[in-house]
Amino acid sequence: MSQIADLLAFLFFLAIVCAIRLARDEAGRRRGVTILLLYLVLVYAGLVATRRDAWPFVTHGVFLEPSDAQRPFTNVRFVGVDASGEEHRIDPRSWSPFDERTLDIWWLVNFVRLDPQQQQQALRFMFDRAERARRLLSAGARVGRSHLLGFAAAPKWYSIELPPPAAHTPFAALRVYLVTRTPAKKFAGVSESSQLVGGWPR
Amino acid sequence: MMAKLRKIWDDIWFRPASRIGFTATRVIVACFALWILASRPDLPSATAWPLEFWMPLPRMLLFRFGYFGLHPGIEWVLYGLLWLSLVAVIAGFHTRVTAFAAGLLLYHFAPLESILTIDDFTTMGGLTVPTIAMFAIGAAEPADRPAESTDYRWPVVLTQLLVALSFLLSGITKLTYVGWRWYTPSNIAQAALTYWSLSGRPAALWIATHSYAAWLVALGSAALDSLFVVAVFWRPARWIVVPLAIVAAVVRSAAFGTHWLALPLLLLFVDWEFVFARVPFAVRQPAHSG
């Protein structure tokens, strides 16, 4: 239902823009622009009041939640495993055009909705992507966002974790962990904990 | 009273303006969008990801953004058209049509890199402002392209306002979610420690362990969120908020690893008429340029 409402909000915006475009005189265009501006004010006010977004009309920035360094923080971590069993964090550029955050959220929200066979197919695909990117990065090639522009490419907006060093040994498997740390405890020297939640091959 | 308000309104949105500011806005926004797209050269390839990744998504979400099935070939063609339309907008080639096309195609492609999250289109890789601005630019472009027009002002102010609103609305949202406590050094320090625990960035730890740094970030954020919108309507404020926004973007990138991709859009707050009037080698915009 919200998808329909968001679409309608955009279509109404388009209709006003078209009305401005088609207005025959300056007075008509001014009226159209005024309606457009009032409409945008209404939409943004509604979104703020209801605490939601309707892209391209957005109200949210980042860091909205109250911070609590005592609260455990969990995220997904994808690692490649080489033939000797050593684990290597997978470079986020492997998932291009998606980013690691998108894939993290997809994993947490949607992965469980797949049946076991579909889950293995998805993980197999991710393994292939990770190994292909590893090969390219290991050879010094550009991957993902930097493919065309190199260092001048716009980063992914959410690039919290620094990219890992390139792994030079081929991956034989993919593992998925839920990594949990409590910031204040980590500051005091307590390391993070990880729980294996998936992998390919199973 | 009403007449006075109407005069203020007309002065803000419809005061006759030269073509220079309008052209600068058009070129800056389109160049910025092209930069983002060139940094996501493989964006349409998302539609070639296996069905397992798409199956859990609501069909209505895909329909909303114009994905009637997953057809990578078609998406690559549309992506090429988006690039061409943005180049045409930069060149001022049939802007009334090409800007509208660019807006529609940006609406189609911008959510793609986050679409697997279903509802988390918060920042959309910086393409939010260009998407709306393209429609405004296409709607405002007069057919005869006079050197001065009342149509040149409102798209410029609207685009600036969209940039400013990203701060103001974010500030209001912080207040509704957390309240004034969001802007306290304690909250900033704990956020910095959380991000340090994720990334190990020394700058995050530095902010977390130096209370004056957390104070500065808190005050800077409050000032930026509340005052940026003033800069749209009162030019002297730009001398404060634009440098502040640059500093904030650098701090956010270095300490938190979250990048404000719309940073180049701060160029919209330069007085281009002033610049072009004083730069001897600047290309003067002809009144009727095709």
Q: Is residue A202 pLDDT above 80, yes or no?
A: no
B-chain residues near A144 (CB < 8 A):
42
Cα angle value A88/A92/A98 (rounded, 5°)? 145
Q: Over chain A, what is the mean pLDDT?
A: 91
How many residues appear in chain B?
290
Please give the distance of CA B3 from its chain centroid, rounded to a whole number.
33
8 A C-beta contact, residue A161 and residue B204: no
Partner residue facing B116 (CB), from A55, A60, A102: A102
Q: How far is A162 from chain B (nearest CA, A)?
A: 6
A61 pLDDT tier (thresholds 50, 70, 90): low
Quote the percentage of chain B above a pLDDT of 70: 94
Question: In this complex, do B45 and A73 lie within 8 Å of one another by their Cβ atoms?
Answer: no
Q: Is residue A85 pLDDT above 80, yes or no?
A: yes
A182 pLDDT tier (thresholds 50, 70, 90): very high
Question: In this complex, do B55 and A20 lie within 8 Å of one another by their Cβ atoms?
Answer: no
What's the rounded mean pLDDT across residues A37-60? Answer: 91
Q: Is residue B290 pLDDT above 70, yes or no?
A: no
B-chain residues near A155 (CB < 8 A):
39, 259, 261
pLDDT of A161 reads 76
Task: Supply the Cα-derived Rg of chain A in whole angstroms.
Answer: 23
Torsion angle in degrees (nearest 10) through CA of B259, A61, B115, A67: 90
Answer whether A26 touches B (CB < 8 Å). Answer: yes
Partner residue facing B173 (CB), from A10, A61, A69: A61
Question: In this complex, do B124 and A125 lie within 8 Å of one another by their Cβ atoms?
Answer: no
Task: Give the span between the Cα atoms of A22 and A10, in whole angstroms.
Answer: 18
ipTM of the complex: 0.92
Question: In this complex, do A51 and B176 lie within 8 Å of one another by their Cβ atoms?
Answer: yes
Q: Is residue B285 pLDDT above 60, yes or no?
A: no
B264 pLDDT tier (thresholds 50, 70, 90): very high
The HSE-up count of residue B18 (CA atoms within 13 Å, CB side) is 14
What's the rounded mean pLDDT across residues B96-104? Answer: 97
Partner residue facing B173 (CB), from A17, A55, A64: A64
Question: In this complex, do A154 and B195 lie within 8 Å of one another by their Cβ atoms?
Answer: no
B38 pLDDT tier (thresholds 50, 70, 90): very high
What's the rounded mean pLDDT across residues B209-232? Answer: 96
Q: Which long-range CB contacts under 8 A does B274-283 form with residues at least 24 apart? A: B276/B20
Q: Is residue B122 pLDDT above 70, yes or no?
A: no
Residue from A18, A123, A43 nearest A78 by CA: A123
| The one-letter amino acid at B173 | T
Question: In this complex, do B139 and A17 lie within 8 Å of one another by their Cβ atoms?
Answer: yes
Q: Is residue B284 pLDDT above 60, yes or no?
A: no
Partner residue facing A154 (CB), from B9, B126, B173: B126
Contacts of B218 (CB under 8 A, 6+ apart): B183, B184, B185, B187, B188
B289 pLDDT tier (thresholds 50, 70, 90): very low
DSSP percent split of chain B into helix, strand, coil, nearest 5 = 75, 0, 20
pLDDT of B282 reads 61
Cα distance between the two ends of chain B: 43
Of all residues in chain B, the one with the smallest CA distance to A36 is B136
Partner residue facing A102 (CB), from B55, B113, B256: B113
Tokens in use for A133?
């990117």
Q: Is residue B181 pLDDT above 90, yes or no?
A: yes
Torsion angle in degrees (nearest 10) through CA of B133, B109, A47, B251: -80
Task: Supply the Cα-derived Rg of chain B in whole angstroms.
Answer: 21
For chains A and B, what is the number of CB pairs under 8 angstroms? 244
